[in-house]
Amino acid sequence: MQTHLEDYVQCEEKYGITAKEYKDMKISSVYATLELLKRMNEPDEYYFIRKEEIDTRYPDYKYLITEYDNSTCYSGDFVPLGGGWVGMESGKDPREGYFEFVNGKLELVESPDRFETDRLLGEIKNYHEDTLDAHSQAEKASQNDFEALHILLMDNLYSWWD
C-alpha cells in the first residue's frame, strides 16, 4: 500500500490534471496516510517513544535480568546505593527495599541510609506509574491512528486506485 501511494502521489504531482485545490487535497490525504502507515509499521514504537522519555527522567535505573537455561526473566527495577541496590522485584510477591548480593543471591539487608532508601523507593513507584501510563498512552495513540487511517481509507481509497 505504501509503495502504491508513493507512486500515486508522484504521478499526481507530476501529471495530475484536476483543479489545484482538489489535487492538493488528494495529495495531502496521501501524505497523511503514508505518515500513519509509517508509524503503524513499527507498533512497538508507540510505547518506546514514551519509554525513552521516561528513561531520561530516571537515568540511574537498572533492570535485574535473571538468565535461565531456556529463557531470560526481567526481575525488577533497581537503583545503586552504596554497595548495594534499592529496588523492587517484579512478579507475584515482589520484595522491595535495600538489596545486596549475598552468596550470589540478591538478598534484602539493612540499608546504610534508610531515608535515601525510602526516597528512592518512592521514586521507583513513580517510575512504575509513569511506565504504566506510557503503555496506556501508547495504546490510545495506536487506536487513534487506526481510526484516522480508517477515515482516510473510507474517504479516499477509490480515488487513489482510479
Residue 58 and residue 12: Cα distance in Å, rounded?
Answer: 48
Q: Alpha-carbon torsion 78, 79, 81, 87, what sign?
A: negative
One domain for residues 61 and 128: yes
One domain for residues 134 and 145: no
What's the pTM? 0.65
Please give the tally of structural domains in the chain.
2
**HSE (side-chain half, CA atoms, 13 Å) at 79:** 21
- Which residues form the domain of 78? 48-140
Pairing of strands 96-102, 62-67: unpaired
One domain for residues 33 and 111: no
Reading the chain (162 residues) residue by residue, the pLDDT tens digits are 888 888 888 888 888 777 888 888 888 999 999 999 998 888 888 888 888 888 788 766 666 555 556 665 567 788 888 888 898 887 777 889 998 888 877 789 999 999 999 999 998 888 888 888 988 999 999 999 999 999 999 998 888 876
Pairing of strands 96-102, 84-89: antiparallel
